[in-house]
């Protein structure tokens, strides 16, 4: 088995496989992804599948817009069906404070060229007929947002990367890292590997990987629970988000309604067990916005990890301490939707030293020291 590569990527989630593909496409042929379990076994395979361009910070908005542009042609490029569906995102506001913040967001997003607008309760009801609009003041609406299957997108990138010569070694756990002159020695439970370029795409475990080579990557894992109901007739097309109530929900192609929520009481940790508390609380929140759908029956619930940074924006690019050690982590619950652009940018950075969208503001050094943190506000 080959163990000497030009580039090794730790993690076989959406970031790992999309970066493998973009590197191979950019001309690097000798690439390997190391994944301790199977593809999409981490957060990727547990996520809600949504992609949206409606953010409060410019870096996230730019990355998300570039990602959606990329996703629009992804099935043709990768030769794989992904259930890509632009059903839009409706984000509802419940208070005057939220309306004021949404107006600011929309002005910034429109300045960057996004097709997004504020809509009143009546228009919101036309878009999502089951919504109880007496609970909302306004909403924002972007018709080119949508959702996609995380499993199919991961497989699409992985197959395409392999066709270009990349290798993917599953059931291979990275246990230690060392660097001597220009060579990284990557210790695994299957023996040592070597490479010159190393990518940390370990998701919620990015901090652990960084610590193996004394680099602090401040990403903290938080459990995030989610459920799906029985399939029912088509109810609506978009993802609906309420930051005020703390939920997101969309309907799958087969009719199941997926819903998840943020829990401010969730401690840092890597537990991905399911809780009764979530099932009750999720049901309460959902029926607050959709009282007519109280009869929907839950068929499955599960949990995954949000990989949070202090400003809820990703950590991208090189680090100061170790040359050629690249980071793509800390997506704070939004990595699936940012991966299509981020993977391209990482390949650009490695092969040309520049990126077509600036990512300097997302360097890990912003999270160290006493600088003020400009936090992304649009997070459930």
Cα-trace Rg, the chain: 20
**Residue with smaller CB distance to ligand FAD, 11 or 238:** 11
**Residue with smaller CB distance to ligand FAD, 133 or 239:** 239
Report d(CA 173, CA 188) in Å as an integer: 5
Q: Which tokens hold the place of 116? A: 């997004």
Where is 94: in which H helix or E strand? Answer: none
**Residue with smaller CB distance to ligand FAD, 133 or 333:** 333
Closest separation in Å from C-beta 239 to ligand FAD: 8
**Residue with smaller CB distance to ligand FAD, 50 or 59:** 50
* Beta bridge pairs of residue 8: 32, 198
Closest separation in Å from C-beta 9 to ligand FAD: 9
Cα–Cα distances in angstroms (integers) from residue 264 to residues 54, 240, 267, 379, in the given order: 22, 20, 8, 12
CA neighbours closer than 13 Å in the CB half-sphere of residue 295 = 3
**Residue with smaller CB distance to ligand FAD, 102 or 333:** 333
Closest separation in Å from C-beta 313 to ligand FAD: 12
Cα–Cα distances in angstroms (integers) from residue 128 to residues 121, 137, 239, 242, in the given order: 10, 15, 9, 13
Closest separation in Å from C-beta 154 to ligand FAD: 8
CA neighbours closer than 13 Å in the CB half-sphere of residue 111 = 10
Q: Which residues bind ligand FAD (CB under 6 A)?
A: 10-16, 34-37, 41-44, 46-50, 173-174, 201-205, 224, 226, 260, 304-307, 329, 331, 333-337
Where is 138: in which H helix or E strand? Answer: strand 138-142
Q: How far is CA 280 from the centre of its chain?
A: 26
**Residue with smaller CB distance to ligand FAD, 16 or 109:** 16
Residue 72 backbone phi and psi in degrees, to 5: -60, -25
Closest CA to 343 of 45, 77, 95: 77
Closest separation in Å from C-beta 249 to ligand FAD: 11
**Residue with smaller CB distance to ligand FAD, 41 or 288:** 41
Closest separation in Å from C-beta 206 to ligand FAD: 8
Residue 90 backbone phi and psi in degrees, to 5: -110, 120
Closest separation in Å from C-beta 337 to ligand FAD: 3
């Amino acid at each position: 088995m080959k163990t000497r590569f030009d580039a090794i990527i730790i993690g076989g989630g959406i970031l790992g496989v999309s970066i493998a593909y973009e590197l191979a496409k950019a001309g690097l042929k000798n690439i390997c992804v190391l994944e301790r379990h199977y593809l999409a076994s981490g957060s990727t395979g547990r996520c809600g599948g949504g992609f949206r361009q409606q953010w409060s910070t410019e870096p996230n908005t730019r990355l998300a817009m570039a990602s959606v542009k990329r996703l629009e042609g992804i099935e043709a490029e990768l030769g794989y069906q992904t259930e890509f569906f632009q059903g839009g995102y409706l984000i509802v506001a419940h208070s005057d404070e939220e309306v004021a913040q949404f107006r600011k967001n929309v002005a910034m997003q429109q300045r960057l060229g996004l097709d997004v607008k504020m809509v009143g309760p009546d228009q919101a009801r036309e878009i999502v007929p089951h919504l109880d609009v007496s609970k909302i003041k306004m909403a924002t609406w972007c018709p080119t947002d949508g959702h996609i299957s995380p499993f199919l997108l991961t497989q699409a990138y992985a197959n395409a990367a392999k066709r270009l010569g990349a290798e993917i070694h599953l059931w291979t756990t990275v246990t230690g890292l060392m660097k001597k002159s220009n060579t990284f020695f990557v210790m695994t439970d299957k023996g040592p590997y070597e490479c010159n370029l190393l990518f940390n795409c370990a998701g919620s475990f990015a901090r652990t990987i960084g610590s193996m080579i004394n680099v602090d990557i401040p990403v903290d894992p938080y459990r995030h629970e989610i459920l799906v109901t029985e399939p029912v007739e088509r109810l609506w097309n978009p993802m609906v988000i309420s930051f005020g109530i703390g939920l997101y929900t969309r309907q799958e192609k087969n009719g199941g309604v997926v819903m998840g929520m943020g829990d401010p009481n969730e401690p840092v940790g890597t537990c991905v067990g399911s809780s009764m508390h979530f099932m009750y609380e999720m049901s309460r929140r959902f029926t607050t916005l959709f009282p007519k759908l109280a009869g929907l029956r839950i068929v499955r619930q599960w949990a995954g990890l949000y990989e949070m940074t202090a400003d809820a924006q990703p950590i991208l690019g090189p680090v100061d301490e170790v040359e050629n050690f690249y980071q793509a982590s800390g997506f704070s619950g939004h990595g699936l939707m940012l991966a299509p652009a981020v993977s391209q940018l990482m390949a650009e950075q490695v092969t040309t030293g520049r990126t077509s969208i600036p990512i300097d503001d997302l360097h890990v050094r912003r999270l160290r020291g006493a600088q003020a943190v400009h936090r992304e506000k649009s997070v459930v």
